[in-house]
C-alpha cells in the first residue's frame, strides 16, 4: 500500500513540475507567411497592436466570422512568433464621454 502511494505521488509530482505544452511549441515564421495564413485560412484581420519594446511589435489578429484570434510578436528581422491562439474572440467597442464610438 505504501509503495503504491509513493509511486502515485512521484508520478503526479513529476507531471506538476513539467513545463506547459504551449511553451514547448512556439511557432516562428516570416511575418508575410503568417499574415497570408491568417487571412486565407482563418479570415483574420488586424485588430490591434503596439510596440512591446523597441525590438518587438505585438499584434492581435481576429475574425468576427470565425471567432478565432492570434497574438504574435514580430522582430526587426521580419520573423514573427505566435504567442497565443484561441476561439470565441469578442471585440469591444469603446464609447467616449460624448457617446461617440471609436
Q: What is the DSSP letter of 20?
A: P
pLDDT of residue 74: 96
Residues 6+ apart with CB under 8 A from 62: 44, 45, 47, 68, 69, 70, 89, 91
pLDDT of residue 26: 66
DSSP state letters, 32-84: HHHHHHHHHHS--EEEEEEEEETTEEEEEEE-TTT--EEEEEE-TTSEEEEEE
Location of C-alpha cell 483574420: 44
Q: pLDDT of the chain along its 102 residues, tens only?
A: 545 544 444 444 444 444 444 444 668 999 999 999 999 999 999 999 999 888 999 999 999 999 999 999 999 999 999 999 999 988 887 777 776 665
- Strand 56-62 vs strand 28-30: parallel, antiparallel, or unpaired? unpaired
Amino acid at each position: 500500500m505504501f509503495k503504491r502511494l509513493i509511486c502515485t505521488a512521484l508520478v503526479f509530482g513529476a507531471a506538476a513540475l513539467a513545463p506547459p505544452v504551449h511553451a514547448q511549441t512556439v511557432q516562428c515564421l516570416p511575418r508575410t507567411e503568417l499574415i497570408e495564413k491568417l487571412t486565407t485560412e482563418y479570415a483574420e484581420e488586424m485588430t490591434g497592436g503596439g510596440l512591446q519594446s523597441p525590438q518587438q511589435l505585438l499584434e492581435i489578429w481576429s475574425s468576427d466570422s470565425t471567432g478565432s484570434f492570434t497574438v504574435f510578436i514580430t522582430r526587426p528581422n521580419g520573423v514573427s512568433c505566435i504567442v497565443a491562439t484561441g476561439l470565441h474572440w469578442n471585440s469591444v467597442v469603446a464609447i467616449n464621454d460624448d457617446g461617440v464610438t471609436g
